Amino acid sequence: MLAAVLRRTGEGDRAAFEEVYRRTCVKLFGVCLRILPVRQEAEEALQDAYLSVWQRAGAFDAERGSAMTWLITLTRNRAIDRLRAKGKIATAPLDLADTVADPDPDAAALIEASQDEQRLALCLGRLEGGDATLIRTAFFQGSTYAELAARAGAPLGTIKSRIRRALLKLRECLS
Amino acid sequence: MSVPRLPDDDELLAAELAFGLIAGAERQAAQARLAQDSAFAAAHARWQDYAAAMVHDAGEVPSPSVWNAILARLPANDQAPGMVPRATLRWWQAGAAAASAAALVLGVVAAQRPAQVVVQVPAAPTPVAPMVAVLTGKHGLVTISFDPATGRMTSAASGLALGDHAAQLWVIPADGKPRSMGVMHAVGAGWGRVPAGAIPALSAGVTLAVSVEPVGGSPTGLPTGPVILTGKMTATA
């Protein structure tokens, strides 16, 4: 099990670390590519991510969540760190018009997606136009509430309550 | 399934943390709460699962150089607790000027324990035949099997009492230079790919050895602690 190999990595077992890499590098590289589309930068972010895995695997607690989610979260954070460090956090205006559909940029990959992924894509698709874009933008571009508000040209309070409403809807749909 | 529901504000805070919507002091406060509030931590874990489900497999494989770059960036000398003190780590280096490290390692082993059990399997040195070795010493027993066709090995260990240290497996071919086969499971069974640097050295008749190393493996790429088990590789067909 991935959780067991991750735990051994936390104990300093390099063979276990290699096993974690072998099992997860394609998925985690997918996370990096989504955030940093230039392959070279994605590969550098992937290195950062696995170094963090090596350093922090001891803090992973299987009681509190899945190993893959832990790895994805950590990788996302390292890739966003790299974006920020390079001053590359997106500032481009966001188009959130109600009429704009929210195509999942990776929709083609959904055919092979897990059930969880398909369910989430379905629920995101049911949100009002623009809401799913806001949520995806936060996660994949590292935009916080304040940055989303600036990019959408909307007051912070408006964006915040809009996203919070969408998150509660998302929970209803997923539970 | 009924999941205890948090008040909406707490639920939303957990989601905001998981999706990276909040920053600064707000984020720090939410993170601090994870350690104290298990219901909040559970909600956060659930939202993290949702966020992770937005990632679809792109099916892109990173270049092989990425793994090497990661290895190169690992700290050369792990500061893991319970590490063997540096003085003992370097014991073998004292004589390295006169004798090669491997010769010394083997000499020490031979002095420690001459009795060695090797599985005698009729050997016909076909390069692709699987190989096995039984490694013995004062305490414990390790069996190794290696399949040259796939470059993978299995290990099974019993009776090793290493405490806070790791058991590292080495192949020592005719040139006497140990090549690491990786840190092995000190208890029970394990399997994995043999490092590329060790594969050419693996043939029938070579010596395998297990040395005691700091957690994470030898920091130098050569055995640094005492060798506790040895055995010879034998082809199975």
Average pLDDT over residues A95-104: 61
pLDDT digit string (tens) for B12-29?
A: 999 999 999 999 999 999
Kindly list the residues from chain B whose CB atom is less than 8 angstroms away from the CB atom of residue A30. Answer: 55-60
Cβ-defined contact of B52 to A69 (cutoff 8 Å): yes
Question: Any idea what DSSP says for residue A100?
Answer: S
Instruction: Give the pLDDT of residue B196.
Output: 81
| Cβ count near B199 (within 10 Å) | 16
Range with the poorest average pLDDT among B48-57, B84-93, B225-234: B84-93
**Which residues of chain B from 92 to 151 reach within 8 Å of chain A, CB to CB?**
none
Average pLDDT value for residue range A159-168: 97
Mean of pLDDT over chain B: 77
- Among A59-68, B3-12, B87-96, which stretch is predicted with the lowest mean pLDDT? B87-96
pLDDT on residue B197:
82
Interface of B with A in 163-202 (CB under 8 A): 166, 182-185, 190, 192-193
Q: Which of A128, A124, A134, A123 is nearest to A156 (CA)?
A: A134
- Average pLDDT of the segment spanning B199-211: 89
Q: What average pLDDT does the segment A123-137 reach?
A: 91
Please tell me if residue B66 touches chain A, with a CB cutoff of 8 Å. Answer: yes
- The three-state (H, E, C) secondary structure of chain B, written as one string: CCCCCCCHHHHHHHHHHHHCCCCHHHHHHHHHHHHHCHHHHHHHHHHHHHHHCCCCCCCCCCCHHHHHHHHHHCCCCCCCCCCCCHHHHCHHHHHCCCCCHHHHHHHHHHHHCCCCCCCCCCCCCCCCCCEEEEEECCCCEEEEEEECCCCEEEEEEECCCCCCCEEEEEEECCCCCCEEEEEECCCEEEEEECCCCCHHHCCCCCEEEEEEECCCCCCCCCCCCCEEEEEECEECC
Q: What is the ipTM of this complex?
A: 0.92
Mean pLDDT of B103-110: 45
The pLDDT of residue A107 is 57
Q: What is the pLDDT confidence band of residue B105, given thresholds at 50, 70 and 90?
A: very low
pLDDT at position B214, please? 78
- Give the pLDDT of residue B104: 44
Banded model confidence at residue B125, pLDDT cuts 50, 70, 90: very low
pLDDT of residue A129: 80
Check pLDDT > 50 for residue B88: no
Whether pLDDT at A168 is above 80: yes
A138 to chain B: which residues are within 8 Å by CB? 19-21
What is the tens place of the pLDDT at every residue in A17-54?
999 999 999 999 999 999 998 999 999 999 999 999 99
What mean pLDDT, rounded, does chain A reach? 90
Distance CA A164, CA A44 (A): 34
pLDDT on residue B38:
93
Q: Does the structure show a pLDDT above 50 at A80? A: yes
